[in-house]
Structure 1
Amino acid sequence: MPQPGEDLRGYVLERTLGRGGSATVYLARRPQDSRPVALKVLDSEHRDPQALHRLERAFVLTGQLDHPHIVTEYELGPHWIAMQYVDGGNVTALSAPADRLAALAQIADALDHAHRLGIVHCDVKPANILVHQDFSAGGAVLIDFAVAHVLAEDMAARLAHGGGRRLSLDPARRITGRPPAAPTSVQASLPYAAPELLLGQMPSASTDQYSLACTAVELLTGAPPFTATTAAGLIDAHLELPPPRFSQRISGLPRGFDSVLATALMKEPDARHESCAEFVDLLQRVLA
């Protein structure tokens, strides 16, 4: 892997911003301009054709989305993406509940924008919501469309395969039936994963709303709605358990908070709120 100080296709790496399961993100600049960028570089062991395809696909999908709270990606390399640098860390860096609610509203609007274009993010979680250090000026930014779904593609796949279940982004593997024994075959972050994703069903805009609701619970109460000591236990909780009554756990939360969250966390996607923005607007009203 490249190290700070090295040159990568004209980008000089300044420092490491973070590491994930398959990539490292660097703060970088090009000598010909002063604009900082975040350079996401796939680790050498994660540069197989499928990983490179996901990287390219994420770049193409993000390029279709023009929204102030969706990350801007500038350039695609052979195994890297240069994108907008957001300097405040992820949304958990915000300390004021009002700022966290404002960030949720901005991301809800960004998700609704993507949904109108037929794109479902499928991995909404605090780690994928970055914030500007000057939050009042820049707000929050949604990143990482690596496992996003295009609804038209999913519909075509369903029709082509004669069933109501979607294909994984990995064309060699299909998710079917009940949750897989190995949670690694589910392309979602389990604490925030909607039941339909865990069942291998076609995602929809409501899938992102469920994940946004799990994110909201974590930001406003300190933990996601469902926790378990094992992946299987967490999957079962998403599929079987009703949402907790948060107002009974945390002093100061109104019962209306429970009601708004319960709808966003319904097991059936069609039973959730009409949009992500509607969900967060109702949340803001009950917490006002």
Structure 2
Amino acid sequence: MPEPVTRFDDFAIEGLVGRGGSATVYRAQRISRPGPALALKVLDERHRAPSDLERLHREFEFARRAAHPHVVVVDECGDGWLAMELVDGGTVSTLGTLPAFLTALADVAEALDHAHRLGIVHCDVKPSNILVHSDFSVRGAVLVDFGVARSLTERAPRPATRIDASLPYTAPEILHGRTASAASDEYALACTAVELLIGTPPFVASTAMGLIDAHLSQPVPRYSRRLAWVSHAFDSILAKAMAKDPDHRYATCSEFVRLVARALTP
């Protein structure tokens, strides 16, 4: 796509929102149907293989099915592009305060629980996939990017031949090649919570294999031992949400976040 872009398909391009590994996101207005500005995600030319197009369409379909106040609103999916709600406050990492982080985590937990009740697993929960509205106190946080989501009702789930999720947030069962579940999203949300609240994800390693080994075999860090403001209760709550066995985690993401908020709020 030539730069600078001023028009794409039925959209007038107003500016650049961001670039990812396979796509560029623009602020855009639909020409034939004027209305609020949209976020237009356009796949790069070198990322338009059938698998890339399938992922984009999965992102649209799962987000549409999981419609919720804290799930990004998708508008339309075309040939290599996806138009969706423009969430204009940046990623959740920009919030900067404990109360705001806890509010955002509660919003996303609510969205995930809603998706799980519909049989949808997000499969890629992480800070960069949580956006916030500029009027955060009113509209809160939004979960985005359902590109690797899967349905628990699929008769023949895609085989786990590769790891599509981001390693710092990937549950042990996924690394073992098992099918993702709601508990896998909870594990990823717990890793996300640690990164937002503490500053780094629970496990950090210089290599992918080191990170995989940490998820599979290392105990969950106990933060109360080195951070005075973190309670022992937080350690216990986190250990359950990040249990190696998914059956030992909390029943819902919202339960986990409620307990975390209680443990960290004076």
* Interval containing the TM-score (normalised by the shorter chain): over 0.9
Letter in 1 for 2:61: V
**Aligned match of 2:102:** 101
**Which SS does the other structure have where 2:153 is aligned?**
helix
Given that 1:16 and 1:27 are in contact with CA atoms closer than 8 Å, whether structure 2 keeps it comes out as yes
- Counterpart of 2:220 (choices 243, 266, 270) is 243
**Aligned match of 1:190:** 167
**Aligned match of 2:181:** 204
Query: 2: distance between equivalents of 1:23 and 1:100?
Result: 28
Unaligned runs of 5+ in 1: 158-165, 169-173, 176-184
Query: 1: distance between equivalents of 2:227 and 2:171?
Result: 24
Aligned length: 264
Alignment of 1:121-132 (within 5 A): 121-132=122-133
Q: Deviations over 1:21-66 (max 9, x none)?
A: 1111111112452411110111100101111111112211111122
- Normalising by structure 1, what TM-score? 0.89
Whether 2:1 is the aligned partner of 1:10: answer no
Query: 2: distance between equivalents of 1:218 and 1:92?
Result: 9
- Normalising by structure 2, what TM-score? 0.96
**Aligned match of 1:284:** 261
Query: 1: distance between equivalents of 2:46 and 2:23?
Result: 10
Runs of 4+ more than 6 Å apart: none
What do you get for the CA RMSD once the two structures are aligned? 1.2
Given that 2:66 and 2:120 are in contact with CA atoms closer than 8 Å, whether structure 1 keeps it comes out as no
Query: 2: distance between equivalents of 1:98 and 1:122?
Result: 26
Shift in Å, 1:249: 2.0
Query: 1: distance between equivalents of 2:226 and 2:42?
Result: 42
Q: Which moved more, 1:50-59 or 1:30-39?
A: 30-39
Given that 2:92 and 2:130 are in contact with CA atoms closer than 8 Å, whether structure 1 keeps it comes out as yes
**Which SS does the other structure have where 1:18 is aligned?**
strand
Unaligned runs of 5+ in 2: none
Q: Deviations over 1:108-164 (max 9, x none)?
A: 0000000000000000000000001111011000000000011111xx22xxxxxxx
Given that 2:167 and 2:211 are in contact with CA atoms closer than 8 Å, whether structure 1 keeps it comes out as yes
Query: 1: distance between equivalents of 2:177 and 2:153?
Result: 17
Question: What percentage of aligned pairs have identical amino acids?
Answer: 55
Query: 2: distance between equivalents of 1:190 and 1:251?
Result: 29
